[in-house]
Amino acid sequence: MRTSAFLYPWDVVGDPGAAARVAELGVQQVTLAAAYHSTRALTPRHPSRRIVTAGHAAVLYPPDADRWAGRELRPYAQSWVDSDDAYAEAAEALAGAGLDVHSWVVLAHSSRLGAEHPDTSVVNAYGDRYPWAPCIAQPAVRAYLVDLAAEAAVRDGAGGTELESCGWYGFAHLHAHDKVGGVGLGDAAQYLMSLCFCPDCRAGYGEQGLDAEELNRAVRGALEPVWAGSGTPEAGWGGVEKLLGTDLAGATLRYRTEVARGLQESVVAAVRAPAAPGFQVLLHADPAPYRSGANVGVDPEHILSVADGVVLPCTGGDAAREAVLGPFAGLGGILAANLTVVRGMGGSPGTLERDAAHAASLGANQLRLYHAGLASGPDLEAVTGALSRLGR
């Protein structure tokens, strides 16, 4: 199977040996970050640094001044890689090592955007804002995300793109120094805590025949047993219906699905417009439409009618892979199984060969390896061995 490793530009810029090391893993492609959220990242093999602190969401190339002139919402430039165009510099080195390069674009996830423009953020049923989560129902946010996608995805030399967070973001974030583990939240409570009540979403609920104030009260009432700690966390869409009621739950999902589909269709069209023929557009996705986050919830048939394929979270046991790959079986398109290969982040490079074979048996036709820049030497040695055996 065609295999791509995720990489940050700072893993390559300033390290003359980085591109060759990645090629020696046995991958054919690199998925290289062009627009990314804030992070603190280890660079265990870089000759001059060990830690990169990306203080805010930023683009890793110089944004087009003409495109963003006079606009309130615009991408932020990076300052933590010593390069005028970190993406282009890294991409050139990787291509020189014989690797195809596709861009990696994170969209609806930016804490700085929410801090500087708080009205753009998701607002939960209690009135709390999520500054890391732009509300994709807001026209200004949608326009910003569409143009960001077109600019960040179609970089010189890129043969395709992978769009992360191209849909709703919500409560789950792993925010800096998170202190939210005191009460266990299952899928259902996560969904309710991710429903947005900004003015645009309140109007959107009205279009579904819902009274936003009544919905707000219903959500807060449904969450009371969660805060009281009574019962076990409810899982799956059935858990949402149990907490909120079938009719209310269904109406909220119809609204959120309609909004997310509109954004995804607009983003993909905007990316395709300037791209060369054959440019591949994939979305990081989850086949449960109610889920929000980096792997956005989608309807499999719809998303494969819009994009060329999906990247699916496949780290974990056989059941986890079956849950995400099963709904896409037989639908065609690119199904890329994303496997974490960093042991310190819960990955299992030692079982990569088996896990990849299992994913292939479920319909996966490509692999993604997270993450070549973060992995230890022994992790990468395990990856090299597994890919060598898979390629025989």
Give the model's pLDDT for residue 48: 95
Give the SS3 label for residue 167: coil
pLDDT of residue 182: 63
Tokens 């002139």 — which residue?
A: 69
What CATH number labels 2-179+280-390?
Answer: 3.20.20.80
**Secondary structure of residue 222 in the 3-state scheme:** helix
Per DSSP bridges, beta strands 160-164 and 280-286 are parallel
For residue 160, which of 15, 384, 336 has the smallest C-alpha distance?
Answer: 336
Rounded mean pLDDT for each run of 10 residues along the chain, 392 residues in total: 97 98 98 96 96 96 97 97 98 98 98 97 97 97 98 98 97 68 78 97 96 97 88 86 95 98 98 98 97 97 98 95 97 98 96 97 98 97 96 76
| Alpha carbon 120 to its chain's center | 19
Alpha-helical segments (H) within the chain: 18-24, 65-68, 86-96, 111-116, 139-153, 187-194, 199-207, 212-228, 236-244, 246-272, 300-306, 318-325, 352-361, 377-390
pTM of the model: 0.96
SS3 384: helix
User: What is the per-residue pLDDT for 301?
Assistant: 97
Residue 51's SS3 state is strand
pLDDT at 276: 97
State residue 14's pLDDT score.
98
User: Rounded CA gap, 153 and 31, in Å?
Assistant: 11
